[in-house]
């Protein structure tokens, strides 16, 4: 039956073979969105200041009960100024206060000129951190404590930006609120 149809249509039979290339893909200058980025790629200065190596060298970077009476650059730990960093998904807000809690300098990513969704990025947080660090040094603050609150993309970039700006960070404290009675979850979606 098939041969009868083939004879009437006069269709030639052609065999098709596929060739597979096994050589490595050559790198190009174009951006490849499927490429896996390197670990430290994307933020300016991230390779210069490696916070993980600082943590390994300084085991006492996080405050303990005995930290209040330690001296840092001629000041007691409890008298050092505090840089409060409020990190959200939409913005990063920096507040530099003295030991008593009086606000000295305040900056946010929106004040630095970032608009809309760019305010919540780690690059915006790092740029704002460098800006507040230069303002803090102009006011005479050189050694500070850092208090980070909230979850967002700019947490680590903000601390690195303070270091890149020239401030000496004595301790990092995480004050993120943990809700032990979270809000009720949404009802299950019906399909």
> pLDDT of 50-82, one tens digit each?
666 666 666 665 667 777 788 888 888 888 899
Q: What is the pLDDT of residue 21?
A: 47
* Sites in the chain below the pLDDT cut of 50: 16, 18-25, 46
Residue 103: per-residue pLDDT = 93
pTM to 2 decimals? 0.63
Q: What is the pLDDT of residue 78?
A: 86
Q: Which residues pair with 94 in a beta bridge?
A: 85, 107
Q: Name the β-bridge partners of 25.
A: none
Tell me, which fold does domain 51-174 have in CATH? Answer: Nucleotidyltransferase; domain 5 (3.30.420)
Q: Please state the domain extents for the chain.
A: 51-174
pLDDT of the residue at 14: 52
Cβ count within 10 A of residue 108: 18
Six token digits for residue 118: 């760019």
């Amino acid at each position: 039956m098939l041969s009868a149809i083939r004879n009437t249509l006069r269709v030639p039979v052609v065999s098709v073979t596929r060739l597979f290339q096994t050589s490595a893909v050559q790198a190009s200058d174009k951006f490849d969105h499927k490429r896996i980025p390197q670990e430290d790629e994307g933020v300016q200065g991230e390779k210069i200041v490696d916070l993980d190596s600082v943590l390994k060298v300084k085991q006492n970077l996080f405050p303990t009960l005995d930290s209040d009476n330690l001296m840092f650059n001629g000041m007691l730990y409890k008298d050092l100024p505090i840089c409060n960093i409020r990190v959200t998904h939409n913005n990063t807000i920096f507040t530099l206060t003295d030991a008593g809690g009086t606000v000295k300098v305040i900056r946010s990513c929106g004040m630095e000129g970032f608009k809309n969704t760019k305010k919540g990025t780690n690059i915006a947080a790092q740029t704002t951190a460098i800006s507040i660090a230069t303002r803090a040094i102009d006011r005479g603050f050189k050694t500070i404590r850092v208090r980070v609150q909230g979850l967002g993309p700019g947490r680590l970039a903000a601390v690195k930006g303070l270091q890149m700006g020239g401030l000496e960070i004595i301790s990092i404290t995480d004050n993120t609120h943990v809700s032990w009675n979270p809000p009720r979850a949404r009802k299950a979606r019906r399909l």
